[in-house]
Chain A
Amino acid sequence: MRWSRVNAILLILLLSQIRGRGGLSNRWLSKPTGLILVAAIVFAASSSIAYALLGVVPEPEIAYLRALSLQLLSSVPLIVLSFVVLYGIFFVIGDNAQYASSEMVNYMPISSSEYVLASSFSTVLSYCYVVTGVLGVSLALALRFGLIGAWAVSSLLAAFCSVMGGFASEIIKSIVNRVSSTFSKRGGRAAILSRAVLIVFVLALSQVFFNPGILFRVLESIAPRIQELWFVPLVWPSIVVAEASAGDFASAAFFSAVTLLFGGALMLSAVAVRSRYWVPVPVTIRISHSGHGEPGKGSGLKTGFGSLLFTQAELAVISKDIRSLARRKEMVRFWSIPIIMMMPLFLTMGSMDRYEVYGYAGMFSLMGTGIFGLFLSAMSIGQEGKALWRIFASPIGPESYFKAKAILPLSLSLVLSLVFSGVFSLVFNFGPNAAASLLVLSTAMACISVSVGLYFGSIYPELSEKPRGSYISGTGILLSMLVLGVAGLISASPVISYIFMGVGYGLFPSLAVSLASGLIISFIFFTLSKRQFQKFFAELPA
């Protein structure tokens, strides 16, 4: 292994990740040094802000925090590991990212270990500001409660865990790519469906395993007796911090050694799967077997009810987008949103009381519907990529295109709002009032999210097909999430005010006001989006 080669690949992968994020027009920020500066600023800001906040926290909470801070410090390595794996997984979802930045291993004189090391470090470095943010907050706690020694051990292990997270991501990337490729080779719609189901399953499972929310709940219950979990490698770093703080240095040294061994084993596994599978080249996928020259079946949309509501061109765009949603690997991730939103609630409901379940069910329903609708609609233009010329060169106007682009995310989000409210109401045995509230708020959220997403997606489309194609610029997604949050809050506030503060004339009038305000907000954003589509159609973006 030559470190100069590792360094060279690392630099390329890092640049591809940084520049692939979009929205980085600043030349300086789009370099690795800029990233390190951002990480340092995040560290300084998070530690200062957290330390300042600790100064104004009331005494009873301080006592609680003091008791919890050592547990939090011991959790830091695990939290860091979770974040790195989580973000590492996101990278593999985009087809472009997969081939643009890792296909070189197939034909360049690079060994699998060199590639794995470089790729893992690039994953770690590209999200190092998350790690420094966590370390900054934990430093504030350590300074406030005199736990600097524990913080030093915790930070060291967090740094190591971030590298371990990079190795774990590499393993997941290789396996997902391999699975995806194997399914593709078999061909047919069944293969595409199986691939989608598998990707959703892997994503949901990975994110549940590494979901900080779930981890916190687990840690809260197990942290006081974390040593009892000595058989789980992921908690070994936490045991090191706990044992070192308790003065049991022999035990701390032992768990440090096995942590190192575990990290080494992860690296060897990552190298093994990478050298076994390398990066699969794109394979030809055959969809149907209608035979030589025979016409295809066509889309069911184009006959019956669909043809009454939409023109032939609009139906063509809708059909294409449905296929895009079903077949593109980077689109399949959105299918996992409902599962990811439901799983934490199901996994942790045992420790919740009735009102907590109501609160979390409401939160996850609104967030799930909102995120799903927002992303799906915000990407509606950007997902065309460079193939947008085909739309612009065809006789389809902005109104028709807008209609076609709005209907799919709106329909799917409305269905999802029904699913969320139905499933939560049934599983948690909600009464009619709670079920109706959930349904009305989710429905309003579905309409708002799609209208807001379409608006910002048409202002900030990301059409470049660079690694990690996001279909909407960073600014666009941030603004849209902010606006969605505010709009969602405005819409839900009559119901929230009634339930929590007793303000209003009853539940059903509050629900009616919530729904009406949601629909008004949606109407405003749909109108704005329609105008924006007309502006967008004036000239093919470069």
Chain B
Amino acid sequence: MAVAVRTSSLTKNFGEVRAIDNLSLDIEEGQVYGLLGPNGSGKSTLMKMMVGLIRPDAGEISIFGVRPYEKPIEVRRIIGYVPETPRLYDFLTAREYLEFVSDLYGLPEVDKRTRIAHFLEAFELSGREDEMLSGYSQGMRQKVAIIGALLHRPRLLIMDEPLNGLDPRSAKIVKDLLNRLSGEGVTTIFSTHILEIAQAICKRIAILYGGSLVSEGTVEDLKGKAGMQGSSLEEVFLMLTGGADVRSVVEELSR
């Protein structure tokens, strides 16, 4: 399998804070790859560096062999990105927004209309596509952002907590879609705090903590590396990210 994303000794600082610390990672093409980590662990920063939104301070990152900060346009043509909090243009309708995104990617007029209609239907937004996004709920905005990432049929999907605010049906559609796209060779990297979802759909998982990679592999690999074969992914995650003391915190709060 070819490598879709490769990072080597990748480092990024924001002032005094080291967001990504000497991170080396290979993500193979066609995988659904999960990025897990507590808040502030560097997941979003890593994803932004993949899209070329942030330049690394040291180390290397490449997308299908191309450095995103050197050839951002080339890389962005093949990437679909959903940020953690997708801010959309509130003064546009959903249809106008999706047409705008299609035009940015240079989709032909016929493909554009067909695909927009198809996705709107799938995500149950048909009939509401001519309403301004300012009136959309968080979940509906999330759906529009996800559609915007899928319209141009990217080779690499980067989704930062894509299931935020989605209703169960839409979340199921996204999960099934990721599996199907994986079968078609599309690589998906996504972050989530819902460990059951990660366990269910990710072929491999990386756990980040304080900007560093603390463990990487399949779910079974992670358990094995942590010496917690009989445990759940949640227990492994909490142990690796210093969150195992939740019981004492809960007791303190409930006093």
Tell me whether A288 is interfacial, beta carbon within 8 Å. yes
Contact B117 A320 (CB under 8 A): no
**Contacting chain A: which of B80-88, B196-204, B207-215?**
B80-88
A326: nearest chain-B partner, CB-CB: B91
Contact A316 B87 (CB under 8 A): no
Given A284-B135, A285-B132, A287-B132: A387 in contact with B100 (beta carbons within 8 A): no
Tell me whether B77 is interfacial, beta carbon within 8 Å. yes
Residues of A within 8 A of B48 (CB): 540
Contact A316 B103 (CB under 8 A): yes
List 30 A-B pairs, Cβ < 8 Å.
A282-B135, A284-B135, A285-B131, A286-B93, A287-B96, A287-B130, A289-B130, A293-B126, A293-B127, A295-B116, A311-B106, A313-B103, A313-B105, A316-B100, A316-B103, A320-B96, A320-B100, A386-B87, A387-B89, A392-B53, A393-B51, A393-B83, A395-B73, A395-B105, A396-B104, A465-B87, A537-B72, A538-B69, A539-B53, A539-B54
Shortest distance between the CB of B115 and any CB in chain A (Å):
11
Residues of B within 8 A of A27 (CB): none
Tell me whether A292 is interfacial, beta carbon within 8 Å. yes
Tell me whether A397 is interfacial, beta carbon within 8 Å. yes
Shortest distance between the CB of B14 and any CB in chain A (Å):
8
Pairs A-B, 5 closest by C-beta atoms? A284-B135, A316-B103, A386-B87, A540-B53, A394-B104
How far apart are the CA atoms of A386 and B88 in the complex, in Å? 8
Contact A538 B55 (CB under 8 A): yes
Cross-chain contact of B92 among A323, A392, A394 (Cβ < 8 A): A323
Shortest distance between the CB of B66 and any CB in chain A (Å):
13
Tell me whether B121 is interfacial, beta carbon within 8 Å. yes
Given A394-B76, A539-B55, A540-B53: A324 in contact with B89 (beta carbons within 8 A): yes
B77: nearest chain-A partner, CB-CB: A395
Residues of A within 8 A of B132 (CB): 284-287, 327
Residues of B within 8 A of A385 (CB): 87
Tell me whether A52 is interfacial, beta carbon within 8 Å. no
How far apart are the CA atoms of A283 and B90 in the complex, in Å? 12
Residues of B within 8 A of A392 (CB): 51-53
User: Contact string, A2-46, partner B, CB cutoff 8 A, digits 1/0?
Assistant: 000000000000000000000000000000000000000000000
Tell me whether A60 is interfacial, beta carbon within 8 Å. no
Tell me whether B8 is interfacial, beta carbon within 8 Å. no
How far apart are the CA atoms of A323 and B133 in the complex, in Å? 13
Given A285-B131, A390-B101: A397 in contact with B73 (beta carbons within 8 A): yes
Interface hits, A506-537 → B, CB 8 Å:
537
Tell me whether A298 is interfacial, beta carbon within 8 Å. yes
Contact B103 A283 (CB under 8 A): no
Shortest distance between the CB of A536 and any CB in chain B (Å):
13
How far apart are the CA atoms of A537 and B69 in the complex, in Å? 10
Total cross-chain contacts (CB, 8 A): 122
Residue tally, chain B, CB below 8 Å to A:
49
Contact A316 B104 (CB under 8 A): yes
B106: nearest chain-A partner, CB-CB: A312
Residues of B within 8 A of A285 (CB): 131-132, 134-135
Contact A296 B53 (CB under 8 A): no
Tell me whether A328 is interfacial, beta carbon within 8 Å. yes
Contact A295 B117 (CB under 8 A): yes
B114: nearest chain-A partner, CB-CB: A295
Cross-chain contact of B104 among A292, A313, A327, A540 (Cβ < 8 A): A313
Tell me whether A111 is interfacial, beta carbon within 8 Å. no
Residues of B within 8 A of A284 (CB): 131-132, 134-136
How far apart are the CA atoms of A327 and B132 in the complex, in Å? 10
Cross-chain contact of B93 among A287, A313, A389 (Cβ < 8 A): A287
Residues of A within 8 A of B129 (CB): 293
Interface hits, B55-113 → A, CB 8 Å:
55, 69, 72-74, 76-77, 79, 81, 83, 85-89, 91-93, 95-96, 99-101, 103-106, 109, 113
Residues of A within 8 A of B79 (CB): 393
Interface hits, A124-161 → B, CB 8 Å:
none
Residues of B within 8 A of A102 (CB): none
Contact A323 B87 (CB under 8 A): no
How far apart are the CA atoms of A239 and B129 in the complex, in Å? 59
Tell me whether A315 is interfacial, beta carbon within 8 Å. yes
Tell me whether A48 is interfacial, beta carbon within 8 Å. no
Cross-chain contact of A394 among B83, B87, B101 (Cβ < 8 A): B101
Shortest distance between the CB of B16 and any CB in chain A (Å):
15
Shortest distance between the CB of A535 and any CB in chain B (Å):
12
Cross-chain contact of A393 among B76, B93, B134 (Cβ < 8 A): B76
Interface hits, B1-59 → A, CB 8 Å:
14, 48, 51-55
Tell me whether A351 is interfacial, beta carbon within 8 Å. no
Contact B106 A296 (CB under 8 A): no
Contact A320 B134 (CB under 8 A): no
Residues of B within 8 A of A298 (CB): 99, 109
Residues of B within 8 A of A327 (CB): 91, 132
Residues of B within 8 A of A319 (CB): 100, 103
Shortest distance between the CB of B99 and any CB in chain A (Å):
7
Contact B104 A290 (CB under 8 A): no
How far apart are the CA atoms of A285 and B131 in the complex, in Å? 5
How far apart are the CA atoms of A62 and B109 in the complex, in Å? 73
How far apart are the CA atoms of A238 and B129 in the complex, in Å? 56
Interface centre among B89, B96, B105 (most CB of A within 10 A): B89
Contact B99 A393 (CB under 8 A): no
How far apart are the CA atoms of A540 and B68 in the complex, in Å? 13
Given A298-B99, A324-B91: A395 in contact with B135 (beta carbons within 8 A): no
How far apart are the CA atoms of A295 and B93 in the complex, in Å? 13
Given A287-B93, A319-B100, A389-B87: A396 in contact with B73 (beta carbons within 8 A): yes
Tell me whether B147 is interfacial, beta carbon within 8 Å. no
Contact A320 B89 (CB under 8 A): yes
How far apart are the CA atoms of A259 and B79 in the complex, in Å? 66
Interface hits, A300-339 → B, CB 8 Å:
302, 311-313, 315-317, 319-320, 323-324, 327-328
Contact B99 A296 (CB under 8 A): yes
Contact B96 A394 (CB under 8 A): no
Tell me whether B178 is interfacial, beta carbon within 8 Å. no
How far apart are the CA atoms of A372 and B53 in the complex, in Å? 32
How far apart are the CA atoms of A282 and B133 in the complex, in Å? 11
Interface hits, B113-150 → A, CB 8 Å:
113, 116-117, 120-121, 126-127, 129-132, 134-136, 148
Residues of B within 8 A of A320 (CB): 89, 92, 96, 100
How far apart are the CA atoms of A295 and B129 in the complex, in Å? 10
Contact A290 B130 (CB under 8 A): yes
How far apart are the CA atoms of A302 and B73 in the complex, in Å? 22
Residues of B within 8 A of A302 (CB): 103
Cross-chain contact of B120 among A293, A317, A538 (Cβ < 8 A): A293
